[in-house]
A and B are shown apart, each in its own frame.
Chain A
């Protein structure tokens, strides 16, 4: 174990992330998610769902089927967007300060093998009733595939969404022209593609939460912070 990893683990211990193992009942119950992570998660969920609903009705604006009235959708999208920028900034800073960012880094060696094994489980093993190949531990909340996906969402897709969204909010700062078209168009495409990735991520994310000990277990974990398997 490297010094950094040891130091990081110590910090986690200070955050009361020590597992409360109960053996003898055939299962494991560990506390993995501190209050601030859970509070961030649900606030984030509400804001992102609001952004998707209003963003969809803005992009596919139609006089015949208005999902949310256009000017109302603009105001909601802008307000929720600013809150989301603040929340995302808070999460990134809090991750850095508490060391929670380390959860999103798949630990070598054998990352690729673990990803393949995990994919095989999702595509095959789960149908045969196999157990999760890499169960949750206080040190590693996520399997390698999850860590990579979450890292990609938080540190690649979200920054792109935030930056393009802010330019949309202040279009006067957008480049006048890019690739021979209005400068806002490439910004819009990146924003739209990233938003769709987030929306599809949510579908898969919610579904994968049914892979817990019981269908409802992971949803409970996200509320109580206690994980069971």
Chain B
């Protein structure tokens, strides 16, 4: 490849990145002004003064119930990277938290997700009702059981598939890889199946968990532009066909990699190059040119050999006939 062509590719990549960034910024909901944001952060710092590791180590007030506080700590940095980073704590924790000690019934007036996200919640609820989690646990499950509002970031905002995988799998493994948390939700007498044991059929199990999300297999197939469903499938209904991802028509394109711009999808002449940039997926990441060359080499050899053999037979027959004549 010439330097000129390389330059063009780099330029195209830069333009693609810039337009992607612009798109991402446009898509971000209009938040408060910088001055307002500073004010909000200052106000939130009053909450973090107690509700943080630092607050627990050096409580700003005497007589605090530190045991209770230990269970109510929040990570300030994680919150500032989350979807709710521009909100004041009091947006949700709205009544009874202004003073310390907080009002005893303050928790009851804390906003729930549908208060702001009604449409999404209705949509998710219909899917959740069919989920394995709705079977025995519908009364224990809320949005925040999985979607921690203090840390979660939308997949399209995270962008990097590795970060999406890390965030989302932490949610599932948080319960399914922890006896303590599993017991909080599971029906009595239900032992937690060992996560490695139930996935024994899956080659390179742990490598899969680093590269793809649990929901890649544990949710039903959705249309290309639809978000992943909230209908979590149990092991009987989960995807077990490897070729769903490991093939040219990989589902990964409309799942984990759906947020990356479509023009990225077939860059550099690779099938599924958007996947390739992050992960090599056997069966899905192929270079059609290399494939053609390899098939060509094999076909050429095979036909060469067949042609040679045919000619040998003919020549042998002719020699014999000439000899007999």
Residues of A in contact with B (beta carbons under 8 Å apart): 58-63, 66, 69-71, 74-75, 78, 126-129, 171-172, 180-185, 187-189, 192-193, 196-197, 199-200, 203-204, 207, 210
Contact call B243/A63, Cβ cutoff below 8 A: yes
A78 touching B315 in the complex, CB below 8 Å, given contacts A61-B243, A70-B242, A189-B287: no
- Which residues from chain A contact B308 at a C-beta distance below 8 Å? 207
With a cutoff of 8 Å between Cβ atoms, the chain B residues found around residue A128 in the complex are 315, 319
B201 touches A199 (CB 8 A): no
Question: 0/1 per residue, B280-307, Cβ < 8 Å to A?
Answer: 1011111100100010011001100100
Output the nearest chain B residue to A122 by Cβ-Cβ distance. Answer: B308
Interface check B312, CB cutoff 8 A: yes
Contact, CB under 8 Å: B207 / A207: no
Q: Are A61 and B247 in contact (CB under 8 A)?
A: yes
Least CB distance from B163 to A in Å reads 15
Most chain B CB neighbours (cut-off 10 Å) among A78, A172, A200, A203: A200
- Please determine whether B285 and A185 come into contact, CB atoms closer than 8 angstroms: yes
A192 proximity list for chain B (CB < 8 A): 290, 294
B:221-252 near A, CB below 8 Å: 241-244, 246-249
Listed from nearest, the 5 A-B pairs whose CB atoms lie closest are A61-B283, A70-B242, A184-B280, A200-B301, A127-B315
A62–B309 Cα gap in the complex (Å)? Answer: 33
Do A200 and B247 have beta carbons less than 8 Å apart?
A: no
B22 within 8 A of partner (CB): no
- B311 in the interface, Cβ–Cβ < 8 Å? yes
**For residue A182, which residues in chain B have a CB less than 8 angstroms away from its CB?**
276-280, 285
* B301/A63 in contact, CB under 8 A: no
B89 CB, min distance to chain A CBs, angstroms: 38
Contact A171 B246 (CB under 8 A): no
Quote the shortest CB–CB distance from B11 to chain A (angstroms). 15
In the assembled complex, the Cα of A60 lies from the Cα of B155 at a distance in Å of 30
- Which residues of B (180-226) have their CB < 8 Å from a CB of A? 201-204, 207
Contact, CB under 8 Å: B247 / A63: yes
Q: How far is the CB of A124 from chain B (nearest CB, A)?
A: 10
A-B pair number, CB within 8 angstroms: 94
Q: Which residue of B lies closest to A210 (CB)?
A: B309
Kindly state whether residue B102 has any CB partner on chain A within 8 Å: no
Residues from chain A with Cβ under 8 Å of B277 in the complex = 180-182
Contacts of B286 in A (CB 8 A): 59
Q: Are A74 and B203 in contact (CB under 8 A)?
A: yes
**Minimal Cβ-Cβ distance residue in A for B246:** A61
In Å, the complex CA distance between A116 and B99 comes to 95
Task: Determine if B316 is an interface residue (Cβ-Cβ < 8 Å).
Answer: yes
Assuming the contacts A70-B246, A129-B316, asked whether A196 and B203 have C-beta atoms less than 8 A apart, the reply is no
A58 CB contact (under 8 Å) in B276, B278, B282: B282
Given contacts A59-B282, A71-B203, contact A189 B290 (CB under 8 A): yes
Write the chain B residue with the least CB distance to A181.
B276
Task: State whether A188 touches B301 (Cβ < 8 A).
Answer: no
Q: How far is the CA of A200 from the CA of B300 in the complex (A)?
A: 9
Q: Please state if A129 and B319 are interface contacts (CB–CB under 8 Å).
A: yes
- Proximity bits, B136-153, A CB within 8 Å = 1, else 0: 000000000000000000
Contact A171 B204 (CB under 8 A): yes
CB distance from A165 to the nearest CB of B (A): 12
Decide: A70 and B297 in contact? CB cutoff 8 A.
Answer: no
Residues in B whose Cβ lies below 8 Å from that of A126 = 312
A171 to B202, CA, bound (A): 15
Chain B residues with CB below 8 A from A180, complex form: 277
Which A residues lie within 8 Å of B305 (CB)? 203-204, 207
Q: How far is the CB of B322 from chain A (nearest CB, A)?
A: 10
Most buried by B among A60, A69, A172, A181: A181
Residue pair B312, A59 in contact (C-beta under 8 Å)? no
A123 to B: closest C-beta gap in Å: 9
Report the Cα distance A188→B276, complex, angstroms.
12
Chain A, residue nearest B247 (CB)? A61
Q: Could you list 11 examples of A-B contacts with CB < 8 Å?
A: A61-B246, A62-B243, A70-B241, A126-B312, A128-B319, A182-B277, A182-B280, A197-B297, A203-B305, A204-B301, A207-B305
Task: Give complex CA distance A211, B159 in Å.
Answer: 60
Across-interface contacts of A189 in B (CB, < 8 A): 287, 290
Inter-chain contacts of A199 with B (CB < 8 A): 298
By a CB distance below 8 angstroms, the chain A residues around B290 are: 189, 192-193
Task: Provide the bound-state CA to CA distance between A141 and B300, in Å.
Answer: 28
Q: Which residues of B sit under 8 angstroms from A66, Cβ to Cβ?
A: 243
How long is the Cα–Cα vector from A192 to B286 in the complex, in angstroms?
Answer: 11
